[in-house]
Structure 1
């Protein structure tokens, strides 16, 4: 008999997209699923949609939060209710190919792996649309973690992966925090022995930018840096610490350049982040390659000119 896979879907105010997402999950070619819907106190018609699908499909487990707890805690609720040997995640405004879990499961079994990873598409905003191409390969823990930390063909997304459930033992999402996938992924990889990637594009991630303001982007940037700080702290006593700091440095350079280009007033956050970037640059200087050194030096000397003419 096929192993049970638990699919955790945290839900909040996505009624316009939820049915398409659920249709792509309930119609999977891999049938032995536990589909866990965690409605995080949505204020739209998500509860009605969830109840409709629960009545139609006995594999669906519906959990309703009385008050909003956030996506990290919603996923933790899903983990607590999960019964599968394997765990996958789907965001409620995205959709997946109908054979995503069959292919990810078969990849794990054929390679005696702990995590499988697939390609993806990001869509919904022409500026940020992209194909997430993944090379088919079998990695040991060290190889995969190195790529993850360097953000090289192994992004920290939850939704394009299938995990052995045992990896989540004593490893939950940081409640109340954004970028919860970035905060947890290295911890999961460090507990895995084998990670396998396939080049099939099986997950479709939707960008919804209609309500994003400069303030929202600023808050997101603060939380991204906080998540990167946490990852660096987790890795401080490992061989991955310097690479994690270099990745944070490059993200800080990108964030500051985007603030300059958005014409937002340079506030306390900008100044603190600029200072933080310079401190990390000094800390990592001897480990940077020539290209990284030149870009950072130009940016810290001429931030506005760099952002306008050299940033990409």
Structure 2
């Protein structure tokens, strides 16, 4: 039995497609737990109609909006599947998504099964995909503790570690260790996975990309400015570094990969400083970017980073200059690309 948890808040335009993609899975041993997190639009009405047509659907109704983490925790608390996973209300999954993830495990009953995803940049009305990009990992099976811990960094460098929607988790591991999502915007998935990684002794990965992560061009990251974004990515780094240091693995190539990832996030912080929502003047952007470059985690990352891809080499080269003016200019260009109507940034990625 697989439990699919779907948090939904004011998702009347997308939730039906999301839930239908779960209903139509070729793997039928499912329960679909939908948490209406106090929606103010027609989301609940749509979900009530769908729940009446499929007995596998459990609908949790909340009177007040409590946020994504609380919604997922509510869904996990009543999950009865051997494994559980998540599906965001504005995404969808291929009909064979669950089946392919289980096939990759080959009945080993791994503590974690992880796949990739298809990133779709849609036009503003979400009617046409402008860019489709597969994010995948190698199919493998790992049952050695140190290799499992090292794999956290590998998966993070491949941009799949931080997502919970592309993983199947053992429900009993979550329950036995009282694992929950923290109320920490943007990195709640990442922190949950770091905690879960502490308890697993086997994992299978699949090259399946049947999860469709959907983003409209009007949803550029810089338009969702977070004043504490730089602080959050340092919390993120601290969590991963702590996991590795506790097991004497924060050395060599592992440390290098962590540094590469952190530099990209530091540059993302500088990009966000250019957002209109930030309201920063040119002088304020320069000052904030200089603060980022001087932070002890940034200094450490610059010391150990060694890029293996063109993107990493470019980011590292500019970041390692420690020149606030150069980094600010680079961030400004990236910001313009991210917010362009033609999805130029996503096409380059």
Calculate the TM-score normalised by the size of structure 2.
0.76
TM-superposed deviation, 1:84 = 1.1
Secondary structure, in 3 states, of the residue corresponding to 2:216? coil
CA change 1:147–1:306 in 2 (3 A) is farther
Deviates more, 1:56-65 or 1:240-249: 240-249
TM-superposed deviation, 1:218 = 3.7
Q: How does 1:215-234 map to 2 (within 5 A)?
A: 216-219=224-227, 221-222=229-230, 224-225=232-233, 227-229=235-237, 231-232=239-240, 234=242
Residue deviations 1:74-98, cap 9 Å, x none? Answer: 0000011111111011111111111
Do the aligned partners of 1:5 and 1:88 also contact (CA within 8 Å) in 2? Answer: yes
Deviates more, 1:121-130 or 1:246-255: 121-130
CA change 1:295–1:231 in 2 (3 A) is same
Secondary structure, in 3 states, of the residue corresponding to 1:251? helix
Do the aligned partners of 1:177 and 1:223 also contact (CA within 8 Å) in 2? Answer: no
* Structure 1 residue ranges (4+ consecutive) displaced by more than 4 angstroms after TM superposition: 126-129, 211-215, 260-264, 266-270, 290-293, 308-312
Q: How does 1:1-312 map to 2 (within 5 A)?
A: 4-125=1-122, 129-140=132-143, 141-149=145-153, 151-153=156-158, 154-169=160-175, 170-175=178-183, 177-210=185-218, 214=222, 216-219=224-227, 221-222=229-230, 224-225=232-233, 227-229=235-237, 231-232=239-240, 234-235=242-243, 237-239=246-248, 243=255, 244=258, 247-257=261-271, 259-260=273-274, 264-265=280-281, 271-272=287-288, 274-278=290-294, 279-289=296-306, 291=313, 294-301=317-324, 302-307=326-331
Residue deviations 1:198-229, cap 9 Å, x none? Answer: 11221111113536685623448357426515
Unaligned runs of 5+ in 1: none
Deviates more, 1:187-196 or 1:219-228: 219-228
Deviates more, 1:30-39 or 1:244-253: 244-253
CA change 1:270–1:40 in 2 (3 A) is farther
Map of 2:310 onto structure 1: none
Do the aligned partners of 1:40 and 1:69 also contact (CA within 8 Å) in 2? Answer: yes
Distance 2:66 2:284 in 1: 29
CA change 1:156–1:214 in 2 (3 A) is closer
Do the aligned partners of 1:9 and 1:91 also contact (CA within 8 Å) in 2? Answer: yes
Distance 2:59 2:283 in 1: 44
CA change 1:38–1:305 in 2 (3 A) is closer
TM-superposed deviation, 1:123 = 0.8
Calculate the TM-score normalised by the size of structure 1.
0.84
TM-superposed deviation, 1:121 = 0.7
Do the aligned partners of 1:108 and 1:115 also contact (CA within 8 Å) in 2? Answer: no
CA change 1:266–1:241 in 2 (3 A) is farther
TM-superposed deviation, 1:106 = 3.3
Distance 1:167 1:275 in 2: 40
Do the aligned partners of 2:267 and 2:331 also contact (CA within 8 Å) in 1? Answer: no
Distance 1:92 1:250 in 2: 28
Do the aligned partners of 2:157 and 2:261 also contact (CA within 8 Å) in 1? Answer: no
Do the aligned partners of 1:73 and 1:176 also contact (CA within 8 Å) in 2? Answer: no
